[in-house]
Structure 1
Amino acid sequence: MKRLILLLMLTVSFAGVTMAQQVQDVTLGSTHTYTANPEAGTTANEYKWQIVSGGVDVIDLTTEKGAAVSITFAAADFAEGNTYQLRSQVIDNTGCISEYVYVDITVLGVGNVMFADLNTNDNAITCSLLDGDTPSATSFDVVFSGGVAPFELTYEVEDHEGNTTTQKQTFPASTGTISVNDWENTVKVDQTVTITLISAVTKDGQNVPVITTDATSIVGKNNIRTLTVRPKPVITNLTLN
């Protein structure tokens, strides 16, 4: 029984040594700063930094000897979809070196943003509200590919009277919705609200290209959706007898 307990303790201890202390996703092209935090009582003389992939150094960090290092995840050095290990060690004032601490970093592509497939997320048409009705929302799905969430999306809304406003919305994940309300249409023609995706950025500040060029008309564009409200039919009066 004692040998079994000892074996379990050794297994837990070994797992603790080999387990990555932290994990992180970054967007290709982004820059991140990492800071080593020595335990109280350690007097640091200099630091060693290393980025490895499969045990091989990725970029030369031998000149980085301070407590912080800034890394740009450029396409020339890092491949989209790959995971790299950033290691840090401290050398104290007696010349002794620490165990290394590390973070496993996965590099995500820049990707893009667009409205979801028109086949399931088409421009919407509805009927006018009646007097006193509560407006209801029509939602359009937005899809991000690549990059680190949350995303901040900037878009324009042109209302049915032709007024345009710029709005921002944060998307915690790679999918979400933009919603607009219907209204009472008292004129004799269709009225339309238009939503246009303008730009987006990742959590780590990288631009997300907006896909715009699927078609030449508003109906087919990946960055535009519309809500059209039909005019309200009217009975002027009732004939009495």
Structure 2
Amino acid sequence: MKRIYLIIALTFGLVHFASAQADQQVTLGTTHNYNVTAVAGYTYTWTVDAAGTNTDVSAVTGNTISVDWNQAVGVYNITVYATDATNCISETETIKVEVLGQSSVLFAAADDAQTCSDLDGNIFGGGASGGSSSFQVKFTGGLAPYDLVYRVLDATDTQVGSDVTVNGLNATDQVDVPNQFINDGTTDAVYKVVIVSATTKDGAAVALPADDADKTRTITVLPKPRITGGIKF
């Protein structure tokens, strides 16, 4: 019998713990919409914990609200109840929203890359790094997954190609840059991979490092080997 009591107690504890968790996570500074199913003749009364937002919903009587989570990190309640045409009221519905801190991103490791030159026609030219150079990135804060935009610059800081967007990155992840570089010279050619911007899942801008070294990595492209004199016969 004691074991049964213990199982019941543990089960209640787990249910209670789960019920205390947030129903939704958002990033500080983002705006989100909330609604209940509209019923004809009902008016709705909404409340939102003021510590998390300066949005005033006291005048809203419809079934939808928009909340700007812009005050402070924490867990906050959104509550709503309905009033019908006879002034009877419903039970309240409440959800918990966890506001996460603003996010930042940087290259997480000193992983500058080296690769062989591709051959004419962008045919892969071999080398230890394979068809792409991989760079570790780390996001802190905000709602995952994240989208990141990078660009490639040559030795004169001229952009090579268009900006590239990588979607669905985790807090710790890697970005793979295709090694589509041709070096017809006799010395190494160095390209920069630069983080341009990033956003959280709910659209908040991710802060970039103030130090260029934390948002820049290099790819060194070795000179293309050449056979001179052709095949003799």
CA deviations 1:186-235 (Å, max 9, x no partner) are 42010223211111222222211111416xxxxxx111111102224556
Are residue 123 (structure 1) and residue 120 (structure 2) matched? Answer: no
> Counterpart in 2 of 1:190?
188
Find the residue that maps to 1:104 and give its secondary structure: strand
Are residue 136 (structure 1) and residue 131 (structure 2) matched? Answer: yes
CA deviations 1:47-100 (Å, max 9, x no partner) are 1112249xx99866432222111111112xxx22x1111111111112111112
Deviation at 1:31, TM superposition (A): 1.0
Residues 21 and 149 (structure 1), Cα distance of their counterparts in 2 relative to 1, 3 Å cut = closer
Identity over aligned pairs, percent: 33
Q: How many residues align?
A: 210
Matched residue type, 2:166: Q
CA-atom RMSD in angstroms:
3.5
Residues 25 and 139 (structure 1), Cα distance of their counterparts in 2 relative to 1, 3 Å cut = same
Partners of 1:21 and 1:109 lie apart in 2 by 17
Partners of 1:191 and 1:57 lie apart in 2 by 51
Are residue 95 (structure 1) and residue 87 (structure 2) matched? Answer: yes
TM-score, length basis structure 1: 0.71
Whether the aligned pair in 1 keeps the contact of 2:146 and 2:167 (CA below 8 Å) is yes
Are residue 47 (structure 1) and residue 47 (structure 2) matched? Answer: no
Find the residue that maps to 1:199 and give its secondary structure: strand
TM-score, length basis structure 2: 0.74
> Counterpart in 1 of 2:64?
68
2:167 to 165, 170, 188: 170
Residues 144 and 177 (structure 1), Cα distance of their counterparts in 2 relative to 1, 3 Å cut = same
Q: Which runs of 5+ in 1 are unaligned?
A: 215-220
Partners of 1:202 and 1:57 lie apart in 2 by 19
Q: Which runs of 5+ in 2 are unaligned?
A: none
Partners of 1:206 and 1:57 lie apart in 2 by 16
Deviation at 1:129, TM superposition (A): 6.0
